[in-house]
């Protein structure tokens, strides 16, 4: 049902794009007719020109929305198809006449098995990586804690799983992640070791981070103090500055892709949709990829991107870390994306009255719609991170993660 609704919405918006393009074309033709006429009316030409500009802006917004609906639709269909495959495989294996509860439990278990992939604890991959336990799984991949017998240490092993096993694009994304991350040498970026394939299973081994993501931290803590956030923000800037120096733009910077060790060391991860600095924001099929809440306007529109695109995303993260919410929220990624493109970010003090003004000014500058008005590099943003002169203990303030006993990638 959800997929059907998305199809309907997509068709409606796509029809609006076509209609908008047609109107723009008719305006252009009418202007040519008037200009070629014996007595062109300057006022009418000006009115048509203004109307044409307005139509062009609306078409650009609608095209951006179509790209995001396409992305959301593909993700939804992927989840539905994965569960459909799970149903097909589990139902014939269930004993005759099981209760509804038993049948439901079997379906859930099989779905989780498919989402987790085909590897199991105790299994040895490529004669080297002994699987210890599952760390996390999604519709297209899974990450395991493994013992690297060659290095003699624990590592994280990312594998293609679920429908990703039959999707060449998922494999390409894993290869792209390896290629992008290998360009970067910085302690605030997760180290990658090897990319390999065995028996049709594509995997990527990387540094294991004993800690939790910024997303998990914010879910638990709600908001951070400026003293807690500043050292984390500085390390994020350092990691991304190294990436940008290597010619890599992250493009999907968000709290879930920022890991924090138990010693409060930041590690930026997941360069799976990263692009080199000369590339554009869209994929070769014209689809915008990223996470709507954290995407810069130029990325949503599918325009050229550079380091300032990641700066915008970091501005969203800082906003959320200090206020408990991102600057733009909505019921759908479409609504959020449109807000990023058209609405000014509400001042963070709207949601947190005690926020120091230097922090608010920094965040709003990072969130400027025009990249030319943002910080021009991560190093420039890092240098502007405020230190309150009346709070000399700010940087020594304990980080909430240090008290947590759990260990997660």
Rounded to whole angstroms, how far apart are CA atoms 362 and 375? 9
Rounded to an integer, what is the distance from CA 317 to the centroid of its chain?
11
The whole-number average pLDDT for the span 4-11 is 50
Q: How confident is the model at residue 167 (pLDDT cuts 50, 70, 90)?
A: low
Percent of residues, the chain, with pLDDT higher than 70: 57
Tokens encoding 275? 């692009």
Tokens of 305: 């991107």
What is the pLDDT averaged over residues 97-118?
A: 54
Q: If pLDDT is split at 50, 70 and 90, which confidence band does 294 have? A: very high
Whole-number Å distance between alpha carbons of 312 and 298: 10
Active-site residue 252, yes or no?
yes
pLDDT of residue 287: 43
Report the alpha-carbon distance of residue 285 to residue 267 in Å, rounded.
31
Tell me the CA end-to-end span of the chain in Å, nearest whole number.
Answer: 34
pLDDT digits (tens, 9 = 90+) for 42-98: 776 677 677 666 666 665 555 555 554 444 455 454 545 445 544 554 455 555 555
Helices assigned H by DSSP within 117-193: 168-182
Please give the CATH number for the structural domain made up of 211-403: 1.10.510.10
**Token digits of residue 66:** 């179509």
Per-residue pLDDT tens for 360-389? 999 999 999 999 999 999 999 999 999 865
pLDDT tens digits for 119-135? 788 889 888 999 999 88
Per-residue model confidence (pLDDT) at position 90: 47
Q: Is the pLDDT of residue 105 over 50?
A: yes
Say if 117-207 and 211-403 have the same CATH topology.
Answer: no
What is the rounded CA–CA span in Å between residue 239 and residue 190? 9
Q: Are strands 129-137 and 124-125 parallel, antiparallel or unpaired?
A: antiparallel
Question: Cβ atoms within 10 A of the Cβ of 63, count?
Answer: 18
Q: Which of 137-146, 151-160, 307-316 has the highest mean pLDDT?
A: 307-316
Q: Which residue out of 252, 270, 361, 390 is catalytically annotated?
A: 252
Give me 9's structure tokens.
């919405």
Predicted model pTM: 0.69
What is the C-alpha separation between 65 and 340, in angstroms, rounded? 11
> What pLDDT, on a 0 to 100 scale, did the predictor assign at position 407?
35
Question: Per-residue pLDDT tens for 297-356?
Answer: 998 888 888 999 999 999 999 999 999 999 998 887 878 888 898 899 999 999 999 999
Is the predicted pLDDT of residue 261 greater than 90, yes or no?
yes
Dist. CA 356–CA 376, nearest whole Å:
23
d(CA 375, CA 371): 8
Tell me the domain boundaries of the chain. Answer: 2-92, 117-207, 211-403
What whole-number percentage of the chain has pLDDT above 90?
A: 35
Return d(Cα 107, Cα 140) in angstroms, integer.
19
Q: How many CA atoms lie within 13 A of 257 on its CB side?
A: 24
Query: Residue 5: which of 66, 73, 59, 51 has the closest Cα?
Result: 73
Secondary structure class of 121 (helix, strand, coil): coil
Task: Give dist(CA 63, CA 152) in Å, integer.
Answer: 51
State the average pLDDT for the chain. Answer: 74
Range 117-207 classified under CATH 3.90.1300.10: no
* CA distances in angstroms from 130 to 116, 142, 223, 339, 370, listed in the order given: 16, 15, 38, 46, 49
Q: Is residue 348 helix, strand or coil?
A: helix
In the block, which residue shows the tokens 């695109």? 309
Q: In angstroms, what CA-CA distances link 260 with 145, 170, 183, 221, 253?
A: 17, 26, 22, 14, 14
């Amino acid at each position: 049902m959800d997929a059907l609704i998305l199809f309907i919405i997509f068709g409606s918006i796509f029809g609006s794009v076509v209609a908008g393009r047609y109107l723009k074309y008719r305006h252009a033709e009418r202007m040519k007719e008037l200009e070629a006429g014996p007595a062109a009316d300057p006022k009418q030409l000006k009115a048509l020109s203004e109307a044409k500009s307005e139509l062009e802006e609306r078409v650009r917004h609608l095209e951006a929305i179509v790209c995001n609906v396409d992305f959301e639709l593909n993700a939804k269909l992927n989840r539905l198809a994965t569960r459909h495959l799970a149903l097909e495989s589990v139902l014939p294996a269930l004993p005759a006449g099981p209760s509804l509860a038993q049948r439901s439990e079997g379906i859930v278990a099989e779905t989780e098995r498919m989402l987790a992939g085909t590897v199991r604890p105790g299994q040895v991959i490529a004669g080297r990586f002994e699987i210890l336990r599952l760390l996390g799984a999604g519709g297209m991949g899974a990450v395991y804690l493994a013992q690297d017998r060659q290095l003699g240490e624990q590592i994280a092993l990312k594998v293609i799983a679920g429908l990703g096993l039959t999707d060449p694009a998922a494999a390409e994304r894993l290869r792209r992640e390896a290629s992008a991350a290998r360009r970067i040498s910085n302690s605030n970026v997760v180290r990658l070791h090897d990319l390999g394939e065995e028996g049709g299973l594509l995997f990527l081994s990387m540094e294991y981070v004993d800690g939790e993501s910024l997303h998990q931290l914010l879910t638990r803590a709600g908001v951070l103090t400026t003293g807690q956030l500043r050292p984390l923000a500085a390390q994020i800037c350092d990691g991304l500055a190294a990436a940008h120096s290597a010619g890599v733009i992250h493009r999907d910077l968000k709290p879930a892709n920022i890991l924090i060790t138990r010693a409060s060391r930041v590690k930026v991860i997941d360069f799976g949709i990263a692009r080199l600095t000369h590339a554009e924001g869209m994929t070769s099929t014209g689809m915008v990829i990223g996470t709507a809440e954290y995407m810069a306007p130029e990325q949503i529109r599918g325009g050229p991107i550079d380091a300032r695109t990641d700066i915008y995303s970091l501005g969203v993260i800082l906003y959320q870390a200090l206020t408990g919410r991102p600057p733009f929220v909505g019921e759908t990624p479409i609504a959020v994306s449109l807000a990023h493109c058209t609405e000014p970010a509400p001042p963070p003090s709207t949601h947190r009255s005690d926020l120091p003004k230097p922090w608010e000014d920094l965040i709003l500058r990072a969130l400027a719609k025009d990249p030319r008005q943002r910080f021009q590099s991560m190093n420039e943003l890092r240098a502007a991170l405020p230190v309150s002169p009346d709070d000399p203990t700010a940087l020594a303030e304990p980080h909430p993660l240090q008290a947590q006993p759990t260990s997660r990638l």
